[in-house]
Amino acid sequence: MTLMRDPKMSPEGKATETVRKRYNRIAPLYDCMEGLVERSRYSKWRDLLWSKAEGTRILEVGVGTGKNFPYYPADADITAIDFSEEMLERARRKANKQKIKVLLQQMDVQKLDFPNSSFDSIVGSFVFCSVPDPVRGLKEIERVCKAGGRVVLIEHVLSANRVLGWLMNLANPLSVWTAGANINRRTVDNVRKSGLEVEHVTDLAFGIFKLIEATKKA
């Protein structure tokens, strides 16, 4: 699927296009940017994340360059999406090299091109810090998830500590400009606003990194 770019797009569309271009720009450096923290911390979290997915039909949103490929369940039918064509190109090369069975598609999580109730589980890692309208994206996830299906996410969120939270708000514009990620979102609340039922939230580190487990109400 190729995303259409309308020169007369809405403010929301322009925001999405800005983020897409930002990720296209950083795609060649993306794996190097997070190499150290990926080896020391994120890899363990990704293993935990994918252990929570259930069923055989799974959607990964925000596949990026394919950092989750090593953790895919061997017997699952996985579709993975991203709205950045440059990220997807790197994911395709990685999937071919690693012989990963996955259907890769360019798609915006805010407007998923799937029928209702298509997937048993939906998985994302560090995605909703970047989506311009995160609640809209999460509502789309809720729509395409089967009743009783699981949604599991790793996200960094605004700290409940007043001083740290203030510093995160202060640093957020720089984070968005350099890496495209908002570091001060209240993603657990956003998951609830989408209509999903939050079952469990695990603090992974510093009260900032969270594993969010939710289900679609039957």
pLDDT in tens, 79-119: 999 999 999 999 999 999 999 999 999 999 999 999 999 99
Give pLDDT tens digits for 108-124: 999 999 999 999 999 99
pLDDT confidence of residue 12: 77
* Beta partners for residue 80, in sequence order: 60, 104
Where do the domains of the chain lie?
A: 11-215
Give pLDDT tens digits for 207-217: 999 999 999 99
143 against 13, higher pLDDT = 143
What span, in angstroms and rounded, lies between the C-alpha atoms of 173 and 175? 5
CB atoms within 10 A of CB 100: 18
**Rounded to 5°, angle at Cα 151 from 40 and 51:** 45
What span, in angstroms and rounded, lies between the C-alpha atoms of 92 and 97? 9
Does residue 160 surpass a pLDDT of 80? yes
What span, in angstroms and rounded, lies between the C-alpha atoms of 68 and 85? 18
- Span of 26-30, 91-95, 151-155 with lowest mean pLDDT: 26-30
38 falls in which pLDDT band (50, 70, 90)?
Answer: confident
What span, in angstroms and rounded, lies between the C-alpha atoms of 65 and 90? 5
**Rounded to 5°, angle at Cα 215 from 65 and 203:** 65
Backbone dihedral region for residue 90 (phi beyond 0: left; psi -120 to 50: alpha; all else: beta): alpha
Tell me the torsion sign for CA atoms 89, 94, 99, 104.
negative
For tokens 């001060």, name the residue.
184
pLDDT confidence of residue 37: 84
pLDDT confidence of residue 158: 97
- Residue 100 structure tokens: 């990963």
pLDDT confidence of residue 9: 67
Q: 11-215 maps to which CATH number?
A: 3.40.50.150
Rounded average pLDDT over 163-182: 93
Does residue 180 surpass a pLDDT of 90? no
